[in-house]
Amino acid sequence: MYDVFQTDRLIDTWLTEDIGYCDLTAQVMIEANETGAFFMNARENLIVAGIDVAARVFKRYDPTLEVVVRVKDGDHVKKGAVLLDVRGNARSVLTAERTALNILQRMSGIANLTAEYVKAVAGTRARLIDTRKTTPGLRMLEKHAVTCGGGLNHRLGLDNGVMIKDNHIAVCGGIMKAVQRARRQLPVLTKLEVECDRIEQVEEALEAGVDVIMLDNMSVEEMTKAVKLVNGRTKLEASGGISLATIGEISRTGVDYISTSKINQASVCIDIGLDEAE
């Protein structure tokens, strides 16, 4: 889910960054009235994320372009599949091409990696969630890409919930005091989460009545103890040191959520191309 108005503002920034004053190559090589027909195609198997954003890049640069989207976000497509067609002024298509490809490749890369992590926890109660460690300016779109890959979103921003971390706890003088201070002004439907890195802290957070306890950088053995201690009385989130190599074992401890920044930070852009239609 993303906002079209905000997306347009991003697209304007991207196009300005890439084009500068003009696309010099297109200006000196292509006549102003020349037209062309092109198609965007998958050069490897992928999960689509950002196809409407890519289409909007073309229309934002030149509203006269005709863009036909052939797939939708979340679709699993094979190598060679046509993702969209674009036709009209050739200068316009080739000027906006790279920006459209860049965002689609980036978002689809996140969706693909997210799907690998989701597959690794299949059959357990754990659900994969993302973090706020996103590319500045692209959070809305990167979090949308996570959902295309089957993951869930954590907080969209700092205003979406209260997460009490170690530094907050230190300032307030303990978990109980920190929670009590937060509860005094917390909106009634807003959730409160506390980060814990020791079992003793989990006990204190449980006593304080928090909505979610984050098990931060705990070992599998410690997580297993925490799950038994909590016994379903609140939700547990595992975080820190999560990778494809470790997430399966962590998911089997019985935690409710597993959060990782890897699905954004370690994703590889998908190979997608734009070719002239024959």
Mark whether 193 is an active-site residue.
no
C-alpha distances (whole Å) from 49 to each of 2, 5, 34, 109, 186 are 12, 18, 31, 8, 35
For residues 84 and 39, the answer to whether their CB atoms sit within 8 Å is yes
Q: CA 162 to CA 175: how far, in whole Å?
A: 13
Mark whether 165 is an active-site residue.
yes
Amino acid identity for residue 221 in this structure: E
Residues 6+ apart with CB under 8 A from 177: none
- For 257, the 3-state DSSP assignment is strand
Mark whether 87 is an active-site residue.
no
Q: Active-site residue among 87, 127, 132, 133? A: 133
User: Dihedrals φ, ψ of 150, to 5°?
Assistant: 100, 5
- For 230, the 3-state DSSP assignment is helix
Q: Active-site residue among 52, 130, 193, 195? A: 195
Q: Active-site residue among 97, 216, 237, 256? A: 216
Q: Active-site residue among 9, 79, 125, 165? A: 165
Mark whether 216 is an active-site residue.
yes
Mark whether 142 is an active-site residue.
no
Q: Active-site residue among 70, 98, 119, 155? A: 98
For residues 122 and 247, the answer to whether their CB atoms sit within 8 Å is no
Q: Looking at the annotation, which residues are catalytic? A: 98, 133, 165, 195, 216
